């Protein structure tokens, strides 16, 4: 195995040429996006540098307290992000259900993955715990975001169908079934699609990272397969909990559809 | 069958006292926006009144399970809801919703004939015209065999001739099978020709109750 090429400062800086080219092009075309490109490049740089140093610190002083704090921070950030991204106003109850499904869905899969599949010791080893938690939470966040918008949109745009079914004596569960199924489907689809293209269309980030850092591709692939299955489990569990509890927030205890006008 | 006492719903309805009789054809008339549809929705328990009491067969509506009630007192909305699929799918979906056993094609043909809809069961229901969809939705409701039919302008998309045929058949069917029919209509002719009771609503209040 060749030794890893460490990037020198000037090599890093030369990579920013891509940003300069992009800024040059948008200037030339008169597209007013220079500011966003500039800010996002700076943010990306600073955030990653800080995360790098934070991770170095955490890896050198492993502690269950730090690991749990990081896990909680990731969860809080992801839940905040899901709620912020939703285009419609969400009811308080629905927000609580988003938080609940994210916590149960990701944490249970995370511990199963770390303790049963990878079998890390100690259980809080940040080198494994943090990146894997990040991947499960990140993917579940993307999935549930899609699920939330499909569910809420569906309830609003297909209000007639839901009420039409209720009028004939359908239970709320039956009346909402089509919308719930749709929401589940659209939330899970990106994960399934990415599994289909994996290894052919693109090499996933984690695997690429491991290979670049000198790990044998076979080991990297073993990890990638396991983590993909972990992601699939985490995303589907999160979504299932969300849709099963979520649709109920649109009905009251008299089986009436309640949608804020 | 239904009795309403001091019922208020938002600023839409304010009904002091109203009785709707069993086994009768009752028409609700009034200008648009007067609260006719809201009244039907209250009886179907799709919404609940803010104050006052509604009784169905001497039982307070709030104490009856909504889903169970709606299986006995079923409603046809003003804009018919047509689900993706064939005519057959749309007829059968009501039975599925109400958790009743599916029926054979013979019965479905009988229903189509009853609502005067000359279509094949395998036809795509999205291709139907507005009036045909309305009749299909009506057929679906009749198939459910509820005790009370709540119909919100069941003939609004029909021409006058078809309207007469449908309403006449519907009234005859209601009488034969001992059902109760409560319908909102804009047509004075329908109200006066077929109904036994007429409730006139204006600005949320019952202004006239007539036995014909």
Residues A41 and A101 in one domain: no
Residues A69 and A54 in one domain: no
pLDDT digits (tens, 9 = 90+) for B26-41: 999 998 889 999 999 9
Residue A261 has pLDDT above 60, yes or no: no
Domain that holds residue A73: 64-250
Looking at residue A135, its pLDDT comes to 93
Examine residue A150 and state whether it is found in any structural domain, yes or no. Answer: yes
Which of A5-14, A191-200, B81-90 has the highest average model confidence (pLDDT)? B81-90
Examine residue A260 and state whether it is found in any structural domain, yes or no. Answer: no
Examine residue A259 and state whether it is found in any structural domain, yes or no. Answer: no
B115 to B109, B119, B127, B152: CA distances (angstroms): 10, 11, 18, 16
Give dist(CA A186, CA A74) in Å, integer: 24
- Mutation target to probe the B interface, by most B beta carbons within 10 A, among A160, A161, A167 is A167
Q: Is B126 on the interface with A (CB under 8 A)?
A: no
Q: Is B134 on the interface with A (CB under 8 A)?
A: no
Q: Are B44 and B73 in contact (CB under 8 A)?
A: yes
Give dist(CA B115, CA B207) in Å, integer: 32
Q: Is B12 on the interface with A (CB under 8 A)?
A: no
> What end-to-end distance do the CA atoms of chain A give, in Å?
64
Count: domains in chain A? 2
Looking at residue A212, its pLDDT comes to 87
Looking at residue A89, its pLDDT comes to 87
Give dist(CA A136, CA A76) in Å, integer: 14
| Chain B residue with Cα closest to A255 | B66
Question: What is the β-pairing status of strands B197-202 and B13-20?
Answer: unpaired
Examine residue A187 and state whether it is found in any structural domain, yes or no. Answer: yes
Q: What percent of chain A is predicted at pLDDT more than 70?
A: 98
Q: Would you place residue A1 in the very low, low, confident or very high pLDDT band (cuts 50, 70, 90)?
A: very low
Examine residue A258 and state whether it is found in any structural domain, yes or no. Answer: no
- Mutation target to probe the B interface, by most B beta carbons within 10 A, among A168, A179, A261 is A168
Taking residues B199-209, report their average pLDDT.
Answer: 89
pLDDT digits (tens, 9 = 90+) for B10-69: 999 999 999 999 999 999 999 888 999 999 999 999 999 999 999 999 999 999 999 999
Residues A187 and A151 in one domain: yes
Residues A115 and A43 in one domain: no
In chain A, residues with a C-beta closer than 8 Å to the C-beta of B97 are: 165, 168-170, 174-175
Examine residue A261 and state whether it is found in any structural domain, yes or no. Answer: no
Q: What is the ipTM of this complex?
A: 0.92
pLDDT digits (tens, 9 = 90+) for B126-165: 999 999 999 999 999 999 999 999 999 988 888 888 888 8
pLDDT digits (tens, 9 = 90+) for A151-188: 999 999 999 999 999 999 999 999 999 999 999 999 99
Q: Token digits for A139? A: 């993917």
Looking at residue A202, its pLDDT comes to 72
Residues A68 and A27 in one domain: no
Looking at residue A88, its pLDDT comes to 86
Examine residue A257 and state whether it is found in any structural domain, yes or no. Answer: no
Looking at residue A3, its pLDDT comes to 67
| Secondary structure percentages of chain A, helix, strand, coil, to 5 | 80, 0, 20
Residues A46 and A94 in one domain: no
Residues A49 and A141 in one domain: no
Q: Are B176 and B170 in contact (CB under 8 A)?
A: no
A31, A60, A89 - which closes a domain: A60
**Average pLDDT of every residue of chain A:** 91
Looking at residue A260, its pLDDT comes to 60
Which domains are seen in chain B, by residue range? 2-211 (3.40.50.300)
Q: Cis ω on the peptide bond leading into residue B65 (within 30° of 0)?
A: no
Q: Token digits for B88? A: 């057959």
Sort B69 into a burial class: Cβ within 10 Å, 0-12 / 13-18 / 19+.
buried
Looking at residue A43, its pLDDT comes to 92
Examine residue A136 and state whether it is found in any structural domain, yes or no. Answer: yes
| Chain B residue with Cα closest to A158 | B81
pLDDT digits (tens, 9 = 90+) for A237-246: 999 999 999 9
Looking at residue B178, its pLDDT comes to 93
pLDDT digits (tens, 9 = 90+) for A2-32: 567 888 888 889 999 999 999 999 999 988 8
């Amino acid at each position: 195995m060749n030794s890893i090429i460490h990037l020198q400062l000037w090599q890093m800086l030369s990579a920013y040429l891509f940003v300069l080219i992009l800024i040059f092009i948008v200037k030339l075309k008169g597209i007013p996006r220079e500011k966003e490109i500039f800010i996002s490049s700076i943010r990306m740089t600073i955030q990653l540098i800080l995360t790098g140093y934070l991770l170095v610190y955490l890896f050198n002083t492993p502690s269950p307290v730090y690991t749990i704090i990081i896990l909680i921070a990731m969860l809080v950030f992801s839940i905040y992000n899901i709620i912020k991204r939703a285009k419609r106003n969400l009811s308080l109850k629905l927000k609580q259900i988003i938080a609940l499904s994210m916590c149960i869905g990701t944490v249970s899969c995370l511990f199963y993955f770390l303790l049963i599949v990878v079998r890390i010791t100690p259980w809080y080893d940040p080198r494994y715990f943090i990146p894997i938690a990040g991947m499960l939470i990140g993917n579940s966040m993307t999935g549930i975001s899609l699920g939330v918008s499909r569910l809420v949109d569906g309830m609003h745009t297909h209000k007639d169908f839901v009420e039409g079914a209720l009028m004939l004596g359908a239970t709320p569960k039956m009346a909402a079934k089509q919308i719930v199924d749709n929401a589940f489907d659209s939330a899970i689809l990106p994960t399934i699609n990415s599994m289909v293209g994996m290894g052919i269309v693109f090499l996933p980030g984690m695997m690429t990272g491991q290979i670049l850092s000198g790990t044998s591709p076979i080991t990297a692939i073993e990890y990638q397969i396991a983590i993909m299955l972990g992601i699939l489990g985490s995303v589907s569990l999160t979504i299932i909990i969300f849709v099963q509890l979520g649709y109920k927030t649109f009905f009251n205890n008299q089986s009436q559809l309640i949608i804020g006008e | 069958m239904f009795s309403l006492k001091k019922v208020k719903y938002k600023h839409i309805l304010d009904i002091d006292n109203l009785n709707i009789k069993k086994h009768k054809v009752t028409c609700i008339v009034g200008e648009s926006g007067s609260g006719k549809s809201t009244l039907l929705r209250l009886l179907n328990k799709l919404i609940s009144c803010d104050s006052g009491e509604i009784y169905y067969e001497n039982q307070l509506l709030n104490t009856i399970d909504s889903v169970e009630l709606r299986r006995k007192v079923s409603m046809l909305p003003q804009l018919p809801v047509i689900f993706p699929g064939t005519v057959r799918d749309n007829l059968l979906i009501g039975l599925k919703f109400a958790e009743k056993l599916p029926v054979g094609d013979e019965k479905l043909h009988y229903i189509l004939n009853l609502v005067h809809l000359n279509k094949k069961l395998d036809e795509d229901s999205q291709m139907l015209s507005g009036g045909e969809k309305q009749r299909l939705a009506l057929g679906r409701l009749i198939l459910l065999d509820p005790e009370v039919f709540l119909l919100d302008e069941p003939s609004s998309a029909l021409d006058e001739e078809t309207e007469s045929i449908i309403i006449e058949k519907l009234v005859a069917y209601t009488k034969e099978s001992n059902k109760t029919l409560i319908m909102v209509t804009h047509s004075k002719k329908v109200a006066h020709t077929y109904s036994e009771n007429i409730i006139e609503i204006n600005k949320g209040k019952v202004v006239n109750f007539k036995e014909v």
